[in-house]
């Protein structure tokens, strides 16, 4: 077939995540044996990740943990939603139940609520950036060009390596989609936009 890469998605926290982890781990091992690259979409899916009326599916700490699990499965590139909040672990703790060991300093000393810091936290969970992070451009809507450029800048300044735009570009008239993709490329080609 001429393939050079294998891509897969794990919905961490879902009912099927255990099976997905096992199957994708085996597929990635085989792909690497064949000299192929592996890309893993590390998404969260669990109703418990919504607490007190807030959705933590795009929290830096929870998505960072998903990224870490993804890199331990030997993904060469991690694709993750752009983080928009933090504190998911703290929010989903229930009584004595714990989803992971946390230290309050990870919220007070290691990261701020600034979008670049939140991406930096995701990158840190990718073996300190040794495994590349690409963020998604989000759903298509108003101001897609501005949102895509902003997301690309945040990703690049946070240490990420790219952006998948998907619907933002491909659900548009051809010329408009190309303009959006070129604007994203310009961010990554611009040496003046550096890691913060």
Point out the residues that are catalytic: 79
CA pair distance 178, 165, nearest whole angstrom: 11
Is-contact 83 59, C-beta < 8 A?
A: yes
For residues 160, 7, 138 and 127, what is the CA-based torsion angle, rounded to 10 degrees? Answer: -30
Q: β-strands 54-55, 77-80: how paired?
A: unpaired
Residue 113: both structure tokens together = 């609520």
- DSSP string across 80-138: EPPP-B--HHHHH-BTTB-SS---THHHHTS--SSHHHHHHHHHHTTTTTTSEEEEE--
């Amino acid at each position: 077939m001429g393939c050079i890469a294998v891509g897969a998605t794990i919905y961490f926290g879902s009912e099927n995540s255990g099976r997905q982890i096992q199957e994708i781990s085996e597929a990635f091992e085989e792909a690497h044996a064949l000299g192929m690259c592996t890309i893993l979409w590390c998404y969260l899916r669990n109703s418990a990740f919504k607490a007190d009326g807030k959705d933590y599916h795009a929290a830096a700490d929870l998505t960072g943990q998903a990224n870490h699990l993804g890199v331990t499965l030997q993904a060469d590139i991690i694709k993750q939603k752009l983080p928009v909040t933090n504190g998911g672990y703290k929010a989903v703790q229930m009584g004595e139940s714990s989803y992971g060991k946390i230290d309050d300093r990870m919220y007070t000393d290691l990261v701020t609520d600034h979008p670049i810091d939140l991406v930096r936290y995701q990158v840190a969970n990718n073996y300190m950036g040794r495994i590349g992070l690409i963020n998604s451009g989000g759903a298509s809507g108003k101001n897609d060009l501005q949102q895509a450029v902003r997301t690309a800048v945040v990703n690049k300044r946070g240490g990420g390596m790219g952006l998948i735009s998907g619907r933002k570009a491909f659900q548009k008239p051809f010329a408009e989609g190309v303009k959006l993709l070129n604007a994203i490329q310009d961010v990554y080609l611009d040496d003046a936009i550096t890691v913060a």
